Amino acid sequence: MKSEENGTEPSPARTASCKATGGGMSLPMEKGEMLKIASVITHGNLTEADLTCPYCQKGSLIFSFTVIDPPRYGLFIVCQYCRRVEHFSLGEKPPNFREELVVEEFQRLEDEAHLQALMKLRTLKK
């Protein structure tokens, strides 16, 4: 979904917020906070990112960008304390993407999930 204002894709927080409020539903507070964190990671100042987990309140979040199939990218956010995992699919390369922010383990998970989705799609087409 591209923004008509500047032709770029909105941040994950804005996209989810629009989807959630458009249907009359609201996100749980923790999920909304995680979306805000994702927005800072993808589009904001990384040095100002608050990596406190909204679920357990520990400052133990780690994140990794992944490459799905350009121009699609992904973002994993994981709490090292409570083990909460959030994944976001991004329709374009986020402004803060850098190769050094791709963790091999998360890229492997992304690759496996993408391959399974492609195989399932091929099976459905037969």
pLDDT of residue 122: 84
Asked whether residue 7 is assigned to any structural domain, the reply reads no
Q: Residue 47 burial by CB count (10 A; 0-12/13-18/19+): exposed, middle or buried?
A: exposed
Residue 18 placed within a domain: yes
In a domain, 97, yes or no: yes
Q: Does a structural domain hold residue 4?
A: no
Q: Can you give the pLDDT at residue 126? A: 66
Range of the domain at 70: 12-125
- State residue 124's pLDDT score: 81
pLDDT of residue 24: 58
CA distance 117 to 122: 9
- Asked whether residue 56 is domain-assigned, the answer is yes
Q: Give the list of residues 6+ apart from residue 84 with CB closer than 8 angstroms, or none.
A: 53, 55, 56, 78
| pTM score over 0.85 | no
With respect to residue 60, please indicate whether it lies within any of the assigned structural domains: yes
- Kindly state whether residue 63 falls inside one of the protein's structural domains: yes
Is residue 1 included in any domain, yes or no?
Answer: no
Task: Find, among 113, 69, 74, the residue nearest to 94 by Cα.
Answer: 74
Q: Which residues of the chain register pLDDT less than 70?
A: 1-25, 126
Total domains in the fold of the chain: 1
